[in-house]
Amino acid sequence: MAGNTTAHNAKVMNRFDLTKRLVAQLKREEAVVGGIGNANFDLWAAGQRPQNFYMLGSMGLAIPIALGVALAQPKRHVFALEGDGSLLMQLGCLATVAMLRPQNLTMVIWDNGVYQITGGQPTASAEAADLVAIARGAGIANSNWAADEADFDALVAASLKGGAPTLIGARIDKGPPAGATERDPVKIRENFMRGLGVRK
């Protein structure tokens, strides 16, 4: 089913609900990098796991940061949660991921068609760009739109088995985030490194 889902017939879901669903599947201290803005706000609101990194600036770099973690710790599964506007800012990173083929990286794209945190201006994905098709074109064959919540759960579960980088596109509504991340970069980074076992 998933492979046949396009942006047009994927169900419009809720980012916080899906974030909670994703986190609920994490049983092995998987790392999660939340992109700038509402992607990491909802990750924060879903529960402050030590293996979460909340990106406060550097728009577009959630996937590159997650890729760096994945390369440094190949036995740990790593997720990047990124918005449509952020991914559009750094599309080249998809080609880099495809080239390197990390087996432990899952990229989740929240696509609501707007730059939500800056006032709801439209993104190109609202009109024309299909981010999952772009990812496939970049060489990430395992790229799919989630048809609905159950399909999202199944795609996350499948990606956790590893083997190839995975991209999951999720159409989401324009609902507000469920919280706001504490903005302390050093604390965030230090907690994350402890969560990854790099610091004691």
SS3 content of the chain, % helix, strand, coil (to 5): 40, 20, 40
Task: Tell me which residues in 13-52 interact with other proteins (CB under 8 A).
Answer: 31, 33
Token pair recorded at residue 139 = 């060489």
Q: At what angle do helices 15-24 and 149-160 cross, to 10 degrees?
A: 40
Which of 31, 24, 16 has the alpha carbon at shortest distance from 79?
Answer: 31
Which of 150, 139, 75 has the alpha carbon at shortest distance from 107?
Answer: 139
* In the complex, minimum distance from the CB of residue 17 to other proteins, in angstroms, rounded to a whole number: 27
Does position 162 interact with other proteins (CB under 8 A)? The reply is no
> Using CB under 8 A, which of 18, 108, 170, 196 touches other proteins?
196
CA-to-CA distance for 88 and 121, rounded, in angstroms?
14
Region of 15-23, 95-103, 108-116, 166-174 interacting with other proteins (CB under 8 A): 95-103
> Using CB under 8 A, which of 39, 93, 109, 146 touches other proteins?
93
Does position 5 interact with other proteins (CB under 8 A)? The reply is no
Residue number with CB closer to other proteins (33 or 170): 33
Residues that bind other proteins (CB under 8 A): 31, 33, 53, 55-73, 76, 90, 92-93, 95-96, 99-100, 185-186, 188-189, 192-193, 196-198
